[in-house]
Each structure stands twice: as C-alpha cells, then as structure tokens.
Structure 1
Amino acid sequence: MASGSGKSVLFVCLGNICRSPIAEAVFRKIVTDAGVSNQWSIDSAATSDWNVGCSPDSRALKCLKTHSTETPHKARQITKDDFLSYDYILCMDESNLRDLKRKAGQVPDCKAKIELLGSYDPQKKLIIEDPYYGRDEDFETVYQQCVRCCKSFLEKCS
C-alpha cells in the first residue's frame, strides 16, 4: 500500500509476473538514479489472482538483469485499498484498463488516476503487449517501452 507522503504509483498487468514487475523495477531505478526515490511509493499488482506469491517470469528477471536491474517482487492482486491509496494506477493494455475501471467503480472515493502506461510513450506506442507467450526479444521490447514511458511519466509528475 502507498505511504502517506510523496507520490505513489502502482503498475498493473494481468498476472503481475511480466510487464508490471518490469515497469515497477524500471521506475524504481529511474527515480533512484534521479535522486527522488524518497518521494515515491512504488509497487505492482495483477488484475487476476493466478500468480499470487510467485516471482516474476524468469525471462523478465533475465531481461532486467541484462540492464543491471533486479526485483524481489512477488505477484499480488490489486485490492480495493490500492484504489484509495495510490495516486496513479498505470496499466499495460485495454483489457487491464477495463478491469481496473470496473473494479474502481466499486470503490467509493477512488482517488487513483487510472491510465495506460503507454499514454506516456514519446513514441506513441499505447499498448505494452504481453510477452508471456512470446520470445526473449519480446521482454526486451517491454523493457524499452517501460523505460521510455516511465521517464516521461516522471517528467510529467515532477
């Protein structure tokens, strides 16, 4: 859950083992490198409960390691409290967005701004495709998109 001070962002995808933990790790590295990590509460979650408690996909971890980034994250499902405590909930595709908006509609006083992470992409690639059934290169594509989007998101929030 987000802390009371500073800004907060929750990255969300379907299973919380590929895209959202990559985005979370990328954003953590970006804010750390920028010297503003103390101003942010950062996490990731899933719309589904399929992988709760699992580590990220081994290909996601391998991709992050290639870029000198790691994550101890364990998959979790989004909760009603997340809609009340996070400033931003950034998701990866239209299906995530529909699920999140439906869930948010069941939470009185939802404070989170729910958006596609890709809406911050300077290259205008709106959707971050799920690499789960793809190849290693697809994880690299997700990583690069997350870097672009997270940098832009931080700039717009600063």
Structure 2
Amino acid sequence: MVQKILMICLGNICRSPIAETVMTDVLVKLNLQSVVVDSAAIGPWHVGKRADPRALSTLKNHDLKNTHIVRQITKQDFNEFDYIFGMDEENMSELRRLAPNGSKAELLLLGDFGLSKENRIIEDPYYERGDEGFEVAYQQCVVACKAFAEQRLQK
C-alpha cells in the first residue's frame, strides 16, 4: 500500500521543498520507496515557480536536487495524503482551519519528530540575507524526517 506525505510551508519555496527532498532521500536510504512525497504552499504567491535559489543551493550542497514546481494546498489533499506536515505553529493553525471535517490526513508538526522541544519549529529563512537559515532548516529536516520514517513508516 502506497502512503503519501505532503510537506507544507507558507509559500512552498523554502522549507517545504527542502523537507520534501530530504524526506524522499531518507525514504530511499531506508528502502521505503512505497511512500510518495510532495510539497505545497498555504498561500498562492509563488504558484508555478521553482523553489528559492538559496533552498536549491543548500540541497545541491548536500548532493540533492529538487525539481518541484510550487503549488497551493487543496481541499482534496486532505483526503489524498496520509500525513500533512507543517513547519511551524502558524502552518499548523492554518492546516487545521483548512482541513475538511472527517479528512483522512493526519496533521503533524515536522519538528515534533527527533528535535528537542526548544528546536522543533523550522523557522522560515526567506527574509534572511544569506544561506545560513536554509542550512539550519535543512539540518532540522534531516533529523525530523529520519525520526518520522523510523518511528512511523518502518515495519
């Protein structure tokens, strides 16, 4: 049975494409290819575009590639995906608001897996000048995605 994971952040150009790529890499390394991973935005601002160049550069520095085209979350996503991850409390609040009654998806904060309580929010690096925030988000995603896959997906 194929399981589906959706990574969400505000604009789908920084954190969620990094999380999508990292989760896909973790799943390949754990031989869990029966899991499909995608990402989407809460808002419509960047629909049709690629991820932020700093996010793509961070992934490239770790020998990972992302070809995702930004899309906005839909009502159907809540019944198509098994797990929908937000990166921060604002994402989670908005996901809970958007979720149709009785939807299938489990809404989870990605940082609740493997990260300490003080470090569980994956902060948006969009407004930072350099790449440092993107690297921090990447490292948080590596830990959280691996912890989630090992806890919830490995049999």
Give the TM-score of the pair, scaled to structure 2.
0.94
CA distance in 2, matches of 1:140, 1:88: 24
Deviation at 1:145, TM superposition (A): 0.1
Aligned to 2:36: 41
For structure 1, the 5+ residue unaligned runs are none
5 Å-filtered alignment, 1:15-26, equals 15-26=11-22
5 Å-filtered alignment, 1:105-124, equals 107-124=100-117
5 Å-filtered alignment, 1:1-150, equals 5-37=1-33, 39-104=34-99, 107-124=100-117, 125-134=119-128, 135-150=130-145
Deviation at 1:123, TM superposition (A): 3.2
CA distance in 1, matches of 2:145, 2:45: 26
Which consecutive aligned stretches of 4+ in structure 1 deviate over 3 angstroms post-superposition? none
Partner deviation per Cα, 1:54-111 (whole Å, 9 max, x = no partner): 100000000000000001101100001100011100110111111100001xx23201
Partner deviation per Cα, 1:6-55 (whole Å, 9 max, x = no partner): 21110000000000000000011111122211x10110001001100110
Root-mean-square deviation over aligned CA pairs:
1.0
CA distance in 1, matches of 2:27, 2:94: 28
CA distance in 2, matches of 1:127, 1:115: 12
Letter in 2 for 1:142: A
Letter in 1 for 2:116: Q
CA distance in 2, matches of 1:118, 1:9: 15
Deviation at 1:122, TM superposition (A): 3.5
For structure 2, the 5+ residue unaligned runs are none
Give the TM-score of the pair, scaled to structure 1.
0.92
Identity between Structure 1 and Structure 2 (%): 48
Partner deviation per Cα, 1:109-129 (whole Å, 9 max, x = no partner): 201110110010333322000
CA distance in 2, matches of 1:122, 1:91: 14
Partner SS for 2:25: helix
